[in-house]
Structure 1
Amino acid sequence: MRNRLSVLVMLLVVAALVLSACAPAAVPGAAPAAESDSTDAAPAADSGEKIELRVAWWGSQDRHDRTIAAIELFEELHPNIDVVYEFAGWADYWTLMTTQAAGGNLPDVMQQDYARLEEWVSRGLLTPLDDFVADGTLNFANVSDSALAGGKLDGVLYAVNLGTNSMVVVIDADKLAEAGMEAPNPEWTFAEFEQFATDLHEKLGIYGMSGALTNEQLWKNIYLSLGQWVYSADGASLGYEDDQPFIDYLTMVKRMQDAGVTQTREQELAQAGGSVETDLIVTGQSAATYFWSNQIVAMSNAAGEGRNFILVPMPRPEGGASANYLKPSQFFSITSQARHPKEAAMFIDFFTNSIDANKILMAERGVPISSEVRVALEPLLNVPQKLMFDYISSIEATASPIPPPDVAGHANLINNVYWPLVIDPFMFGQQSAEDAVRILREEGNIVLAEAAGQ
């Protein structure tokens, strides 16, 4: 096993910056699979010849440590496979993968996200996995169809779910007790959320909520709760007609920022690239935060022993349904540029079904999809892991249906419209919420229509 990340990332980030100057957004373009012929084709693992299998993922330091340890176990079982791994934080990871895709140099196995799956498939960058299921390399005997559904497009499996999760508000239980307050109702509204965070701030003198409330995922949550979606079915425009719910939400977020209940947008930008391990709740500077449920493991490890946390569902608009849905936390996919697709499938199967591997990983990526693995892990769960398992169980019955993956124009819209033209000018007081949302619709529809027409 070798890690060649540090030099590679520096080189690729420089390359990405050059490329980004010529492109509207960091969106992966189609790239041909690495070519080979009969004289230099990559050897198969069962040939006994040493091969190099490249694997890439994003995540926290805790994820890196656990994944590397699981890789070492895989190598022990397959001594002729040398796994070369690459990892980074969320933003840097996609820069790295986009640059490699353009150069025809993607790894064999890449961690993939539900929101980006359709985009990468549409550009021919991922390999269908059904043949590996048919020949038994990928064994899903203990996996439900619903757990695999998120990785399918048009009935074809392109990605294997690494764990189930959902968004969650995390509250410091000790800070809550210090403030003399109770945990909110699981069906709380945005109005109740604002009051709750404000009360924590006023009683404790710290942030009631860490911040990042303008993240696009919360824009999506609003319309999911209202039974709609942010994009039209054809991906050529926004998918909702009524802008008022988003206007009301942005107005609330700005009000909370100006009152000191959350961090300012300027502070958020200064901390860009951070992870859940650097969230202000870890250091006690905030009484609450939000993220994906699987991240409670890394956050709790960073916070240290003796800390107590409560998990509650995301708040919703008045009269809305649940703003939560059950999501594949992330996937493993085999890229179309993989030199060793068979061994890549073996690696994914190992992560899915190996009890020993999952005792190392300990559901850091979410609740495992194999029922056999879940049963084996239950007696071993520590407090944050049990919190995660219990939270997912508690929202299963009421969660909204999973929305479609993001459309082709999503990355361009977020990078070139949502943040620079909508959110930042609004949060810095340069435009009204009404103007911000109008610009999102006008400029966003242009970007989406262009992407849909390609």
Structure 2
Amino acid sequence: MQRDRNVERRAILKVAGASLAVAGLGATATACGGDSGSGDGTVTIRYSWWGAEDRAERIKKSIALFEKKYPKIKVKTDFQPYTDFWKKFNTQASGGNPPDVFQNAVGFLRKYDARNVLLDLSAQVEAGNLSMDGFRAGLEKFGEIDGKLLGVPVGSNSMALVIDKHVYTKAGVKPEQGWTWDDYDAAMKKIRDKAGRAGDTGPYNVMYLYDLYLRQNGKAFFTEDGLGFAEADLKAWWAKAEKAVEEGLYADQKKVAQIKPKSAVSGEIAAGEFTWDNFTIRYTSEGKSEYGLAPIPTTDGKKTGQYLGSLMLSASKRTQHPKEVAQFINFMVHEPEVAEIMGYDRGVPATQAQYDAFKPTDPVNKAIAEYEQSLVDAGVLEPITPHPNGADVCEAAFLRIGEEVGLGKRPVDDAVKQFFTESKTALAT
């Protein structure tokens, strides 16, 4: 079973700003990393990722397949929980000895590229060691930054509204593709009045949802080099959320905090909340109701601003074995048997070959696959918003300050100024 990725995500964001400031990451890339190989031509590459034991077991089984196909390449593995992974990675990178290949996310691409850590894999594509063909819904472009291929997607996810289906049915609410924010607001009132529950956990600090809302209105959370919205925009967003809590449309944030790490939806405090679609397995394991995925509300009934996000595999610029690393990445994202082993542990498989190879039979994963296919069929998917150097620090600030607003610890005006102050500092470094 998947572990609670919302909890993992919060953990990494708490340390993102501090841990990524480790000195020395900009050291000149020289030949180090994996070992130099044995006398018989066998080489060893180091592969690191974050996750729990269940992910580790799946990955190790996938590596066994790889080593069978490539007997001259051995893979040494290492994994940690989110927080510990990045602490260790930063120590390794600052010491000039990062892993040859590692799990990565879009918020870190420009940051680590600026520190001369990431290998541009474009040359390996040209050499035929890595294929960027056969990816789903434009995911092949996900790891491209400033003309460089810095990451290769292994899975996909997108923002969704997770709902308690019984509560929505009781309130007579049926969300459909193309419903508007006005429809959503009306639904929150119906749920409160007819089902006696808050309609939503409260999207104060869900940065990626706010990004979609901005994109619907011709803006974006990030541009390539900074923030893509003004203080007045964020003030309106947080003020609306604050009013919704007062009216009982969004959940009491103190109650939400009290039951963490359990979700407010599975804890029967709220009828729904916005999150990544592949996180939804947690609700069935935590709660007693039946849960589903609903579409993102729109401003105009058409544009959701959505894109497919993804975990990625990146390579170290210091690796002595770029060819072997590329072959390993290629195998992990294209080999059908890997998909059969990994399932949806890292999201819906990024390539069509792996997507076709694994057909989930359980209701939760089937719903995730159907939801992402519905986005493709509806034609709402767009390219992801660029993430500048410092994006991870901005996200951490948005999460923390948004929680403070929700808990009544900081007034909206002060919160907005604090967020912009911290973000401008992070984006300027």
Q: TM-score range by the shorter chain?
A: 0.7 to 0.9
Answer whether contact 2:34 2:319 (CA < 8 A) is retained: no
The alignment of Structure 1 onto Structure 2 pairs a total of residues equal to 414
Q: 1:294 to 1:98 in 2, by over 3 A?
A: same
Unaligned runs of 5+ in 2: 1-10
Structure 1 residue 386 corresponds to structure 2 residue 379: no
Once the two structures are TM-superposed, the CA of residue 326 in structure 1 deviates from its matched residue by 1.9
Aligned-partner Cα distance in 2 for 1:321–1:158: 32
* Counterpart residue number, 1:98: 90
* Counterpart residue number, 1:254: 242
Aligned-partner Cα distance in 2 for 1:268–1:106: 39
* Counterpart residue number, 1:86: 79
Aligned-partner Cα distance in 1 for 2:256–2:56: 24
* Counterpart residue number, 1:42: 35
* Counterpart residue number, 2:48: 56
Aligned-partner Cα distance in 1 for 2:265–2:39: 48
- Residue 327 of structure 1: SS of its match in structure 2? coil
- Residue 326 of structure 1: SS of its match in structure 2? coil
Decide which of 336, 344, 348 is 1:363's aligned counterpart.
344
Structure 1 residue 334 corresponds to structure 2 residue 327: no
Answer whether contact 1:144 1:369 (CA < 8 A) is retained: yes
Decide which of 331, 356, 362 is 1:375's aligned counterpart.
356
- Residue 69 of structure 1: SS of its match in structure 2? helix
Q: 1:185 to 1:33 in 2, by over 3 A?
A: same
- Residue 187 of structure 1: SS of its match in structure 2? coil
Q: 1:280 to 1:430 in 2, by over 3 A?
A: closer
Aligned-partner Cα distance in 1 for 2:166–2:423: 43
Superposed CA deviations along residues 345-401 of structure 1, whole A, max 9, x for unmatched, are 2221121111111111123323323323333334x5543333222212222344253
Aligned-partner Cα distance in 1 for 2:46–2:149: 21
Structure 1 residue 135 corresponds to structure 2 residue 127: yes
Aligned-partner Cα distance in 2 for 1:106–1:126: 10
**Matched AA of 1:209:** D
Superposed CA deviations along residues 13-71 of structure 1, whole A, max 9, x for unmatched, are 9xx98xx9xx867446524477558xx982348945463x3322334665445334323
* Counterpart residue number, 2:151: 159
Q: 1:299 to 1:418 in 2, by over 3 A?
A: closer
Aligned-partner Cα distance in 2 for 1:60–1:169: 25
Answer whether contact 1:230 1:239 (CA < 8 A) is retained: yes
* Counterpart residue number, 1:299: 282
Answer whether contact 1:165 1:366 (CA < 8 A) is retained: yes
Q: 1:409 to 1:267 in 2, by over 3 A?
A: farther
Answer whether contact 2:163 2:292 (CA < 8 A) is retained: yes
Answer whether contact 1:193 1:315 (CA < 8 A) is retained: yes
Q: 1:68 to 1:410 in 2, by over 3 A?
A: same
Answer whether contact 2:153 2:312 (CA < 8 A) is retained: yes
State the superposition RMSD in angstroms: 3.7
* Counterpart residue number, 2:3: none
**Matched AA of 1:293:** D
- Residue 328 of structure 1: SS of its match in structure 2? coil
Aligned-partner Cα distance in 2 for 1:44–1:183: 60
Superposed CA deviations along residues 126-160 of structure 1, whole A, max 9, x for unmatched, are 10112222232223443479331111123321111
108-117 vs 145-154, greater mean Cα deviation: 145-154
* Counterpart residue number, 2:7: none
Once the two structures are TM-superposed, the CA of residue 212 in structure 1 deviates from its matched residue by 5.5
* Counterpart residue number, 1:10: none
